[in-house]
């Protein structure tokens, strides 16, 4: 965590700031959960691990910022310690995957910074330098896993993660996100390429969706597809920017809603993955929302009872029907 806190503080008022991690950690501590978890220091990602996802030129460009600064795009900056923090972020997730696969941990929650799911193979974007979840998924495949599931409930579409695996049927990528919205990708018709067609599942959402709507979508669409895929490992891009009041997003989730999302992800992981799951922090810029929602997800990871969320009924039937029409050809389970 200290390296993550030293990652460049962008310009004043920038939402991706060190206080995000402090708030999340404080929320877990105030909820009385910290004594029940094992705190682990992250390791650096290796060059070999990064090269499975990123071009050598991109790795060199990020490395060149060490001790200096660079503006990659209008949103994405690096400062003197950002490269070190990015290595720790990707390394933490990869290390968590190793520990879970080796049986040293049941599951993990990686509180990392900078986030990762927007980072493309050859460029930084959207506050992200290296794609932490993609690096970890590629590492799991390199270790011999046959199928890895990634669920991304950040309010922004994870363009970098999708593009990394959209031709690879070994990786199921499911993303629920506001649309149309930054970064402009993630349309319903984006279902993968070549042999990977059908293994990219985008669930674009209109603004204003809250706990009931998310619960319905995750129970009726995400969970059946996830169970049918029978992944050996569940990775979760846990973005908390769909929280109501987040300054960058138009959604209305509460901490109870995030408990529900975590519960669905863990229900999927309870199948072929035998409970093996790694959750990874992505976005979330309302500090109070981060604290409350992060603690709610941690409770779910610890196996505590989660609040009951009643799925929304007929109001979103047309949206559910649209999802079913798009994915029934690939996932017959949705025909029921």
Specify the pLDDT at position 14.
76
156 is catalytic: no
**Among candidates 163, 207, 210, which has minimal Cα distance to 185?**
163
**Among candidates 240, 234, 292, 219, which has minimal Cα distance to 266?**
234
Average pLDDT, whole number, for the chain? 95
- Tell me the sheet residues that pair with 243: 253
**Among candidates 302, 111, 142, which has minimal Cα distance to 233?**
142
Q: Which CATH number characterizes residue 320's domain?
A: 3.40.800.20
How do residues 230-281 score in pLDDT, each as one tens digit? Answer: 999 999 999 999 999 999 999 999 999 999 999 999 999 999 999 999 999 9
The Cα–Cα gap between 275 and 263 comes to 12
How do residues 162-211 score in pLDDT, each as one tens digit? Answer: 999 999 999 999 999 999 999 999 999 999 999 999 999 999 999 999 99
Cα angle value 166/167/169 (rounded, 5°) = 95
Check whether 330 has a pLDDT greater than 70.
Answer: yes
Q: Two tokens at 173?
A: 């990528």
Check whether 309 has a pLDDT greater than 60.
Answer: yes
Q: How many CB atoms lie within 10 A of CB 253?
A: 28
Q: Two tokens at 151?
A: 């669920």
The strand ranges marked E within 125-266 are 148-152, 171-178, 200-205, 233-238
| Catalytic residue (one of 54, 117, 118, 139) | 118
Check whether 3 has a pLDDT greater than 60.
Answer: no
CA 322 to chain centre: 24
Check whether 319 has a pLDDT greater than 60.
Answer: yes
- Tell me the sheet residues that pair with 70: 78
The CB-side HSE value for 181 (13 A sphere, CA atoms) comes to: 20
More confident residue, 1 or 65: 65
Domain that holds residue 130: 2-335
How many domains is the chain built from?
Answer: 1
Check whether 4 has a pLDDT greater than 50.
Answer: no
The Cα–Cα gap between 205 and 224 comes to 19
């Amino acid at each position: 965590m200290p390296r993550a806190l030293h990652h460049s503080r962008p310009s004043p008022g920038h939402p991706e700031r060190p206080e995000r991690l402090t708030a999340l950690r404080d929320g877990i501590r105030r909820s009385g959960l910290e004594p029940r978890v094992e705190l682990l220091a992250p390791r650096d990602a290796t060059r070999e691990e990064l090269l499975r996802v990123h071009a050598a030129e991109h790795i060199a460009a990020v490395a060149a910022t060490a001790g200096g600064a660079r503006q990659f795009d209008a949103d994405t900056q690096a400062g003197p310690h950002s490269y070190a923090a990015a290595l720790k972020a990707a390394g933490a997730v990869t290390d968590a995957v190793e520990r879970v696969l080796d049986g040293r941990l049941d599951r993990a929650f990686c509180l990392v910074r900078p986030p990762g799911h927007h980072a493309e193979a050859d460029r930084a974007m959207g506050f992200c330098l290296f794609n932490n979840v993609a690096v970890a998924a590629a590492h799991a495949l390199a270790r011999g896993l046959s199928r890895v599931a990634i669920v991304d409930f950040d309010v922004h579409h994870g363009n970098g993660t999708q593009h990394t695996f959209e031709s690879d049927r070994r990786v199921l990528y499911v993303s629920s996100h506001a649309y149309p919205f930054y970064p402009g990708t993630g349309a319903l018709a984006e279902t993968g390429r070549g042999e990977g067609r059908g293994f990219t599942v985008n669930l674009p959402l209109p603004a204003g969706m809250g706990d009931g709507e998310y619960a319905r979508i995750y129970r009726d669409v995400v969970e059946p597809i996830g169970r049918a895929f029978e992944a050996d490992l569940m990775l979760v891009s846990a973005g908390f920017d769909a929280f109501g009041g987040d300054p960058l997003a138009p959604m209305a989730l509460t901490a109870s809603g995030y408990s529900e999302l975590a519960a669905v992800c863990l229900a999927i992981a309870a199948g072929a993955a035998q409970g093996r799951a790694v959750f990874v922090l992505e976005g979330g810029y309302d500090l109070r929302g981060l604290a409350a929602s992060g603690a709610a997800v941690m409770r779910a990871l610890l196996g505590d009872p989660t609040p009951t969320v009643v799925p929304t009924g007929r109001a979103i039937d047309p949206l559910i029907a649209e999802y079913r029409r798009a994915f029934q050809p690939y996932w017959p389970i949705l025909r029921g």
